[in-house]
Amino acid sequence: MLSISNLSKSFGGVVATNNVTLEFPEGSLSSIIGPNGAGKTTLFNLITGKLKVDSGKVKLEDEDITNLSTRNIVLKGISRAFQISNIFPSLTVKESLMSSLMSKNNQAEKLFIPFHSKALEEEAEELLEILEMKSLSNVICSNISHGDQKVLDIGLALSLDPKILMLDEPTAGMGPEERWKMVETIERLWKLKKLTLIFIEHDMDIVFKISQRIHVLRYGSLLASGSPQEIKNNEEVINAYLGEDFEAV
């Protein structure tokens, strides 16, 4: 289980994370919601070591992993989808995955040795299979659709063999059809890989459809945590974020 306790982070006078305590049980699918600027991405940055915490703790099982380097956090089994800009635009889809698989072992430069290992290629093909991207294997990354780039993004995170996968707005910028396809992919990968999945999402139809637990942030503080049913009926959450007319699917 991943847990955070009394986590805080400020930027100058802005309190981005304010004394947040949360648990993410093993194998669960949780989402983090809240208005723009509520501190959702900052929370991810604190968990993954991208930002140093001001105070509080991040724990994986019984181990204190607060303020470890991003690389060490990845080695502990916590991965996050990269931003699309991190995809190597001139490599093929398969080469990108191979490169990421190698970076896990600090061997990325070996990709450019012509006779790279067969095992690595097989590992990349296995990933392509579970991502349902085999047909795009030899396509240059910059030529695949926005939606496929987002799936590849998740594939790159998966190549690091995480137990915990964190996705920050994986459906952003997608049309409705592509969006639901992405949701199906996320659910499928979550089950297949038995991941603990944490995601940030603005589309409430998606959040209420797939989450087991929902955590609501506002002004950096935790406003509410609960099942979709509990969150849907929480007056404070309705007033602060969902709105009176909200009807979950």
Ligand X SMILES: Nc1ncnc2c1ncn2[C@@H]1O[C@H](COP(=O)(O)OP(=O)(O)OP(=O)(O)O)[C@@H](O)[C@H]1O
Question: Under the rule (CB under 5 A), what is the footprint of Mg ion?
Answer: 40-41
User: Which of 39, 49, 147, 155 contacts ligand X by CB under 6 A?
Assistant: 39
Applying CB under 6 A, what is the total number of residues that bind ligand X? 11
User: Which of 41, 67, 103, 137 contacts ligand X by CB under 6 A?
Assistant: 41
φ, ψ dihedrals at 22, nearest 5°: -155, 155
Mark the segment that binds ligand X (CB under 6 A) among 9-17, 18-26, 115-123, 222-230. Answer: 9-17
Residue number of the CB closest to Mg ion reads: 41
HSE (side-chain half, CA atoms, 13 Å) at 117: 13
* Least distance from ligand X to the Cβ atom of residue 203, Å: 12
* Least distance from ligand X to the Cβ atom of residue 127, Å: 28
For 128, 199, 209, the CA distances from 186, given in Å and listed in that order, are 14, 10, 12
Based on the shown chain and the rule CB under 6 A, indicate whether residue 36 belongs to the binding site for ligand X: yes
Q: Residue 11: which of Mg ion, ligand X, none does it interact with, CB under 5 to 8 A by kind?
A: ligand X
Q: Please report, as residue ranges, which positions from 97 to 116 form the binding site for ligand X (by CB under 6 A).
A: none
> What DSSP state is assigned to residue 51?
S
User: With contact defined as beta carbons under 8 Å apart, do 35 and 241 qualify?
Assistant: yes
The dihedral built from the CA positions of residue 226, 167, 133 and 182, taken in this order, carries a sign that is positive
Please provide the DSSP assignment of 212-247 as one string: SEEEEEETTEEEEEE-HHHHHT-HHHIIIII-TT--
Other beta carbons within 10 Å of 244? 6
* Least distance from Mg ion to the Cβ atom of residue 220, Å: 12
- Calculate ∠ Cα 98-102-107, nearest 5°: 135
> What DSSP state is assigned to residue 10?
E
Tokens (6 digits) for 202: 């603005």
φ, ψ dihedrals at 233, nearest 5°: -100, 5
Other beta carbons within 10 Å of 143? 12
Mark the segment that binds ligand X (CB under 6 A) among 29-37, 100-108, 133-141, 148-156. Answer: 29-37
User: Which of 28, 30, 31, 42 contacts ligand X by CB under 6 A?
Assistant: 42
* Least distance from Mg ion to the Cβ atom of residue 44, Å: 8
Give whichever of 24 and 44 is closer to ligand X, judged by the CB atom.
Answer: 44
Mark the segment that binds ligand X (CB under 6 A) among 22-30, 36-44, 108-116, 117-125. Answer: 36-44
Give whichever of 9 and 94 is closer to ligand X, judged by the CB atom.
Answer: 9
Give whichever of 40 and 150 is closer to Mg ion, judged by the CB atom.
Answer: 40
Based on the shown chain and the rule CB under 6 A, indicate whether residue 37 belongs to the binding site for ligand X: yes
* Least distance from ligand X to the Cβ atom of residue 175, Å: 20
Residues in contact with ligand X by CB under 6 A are 11, 14, 16, 34, 36-42
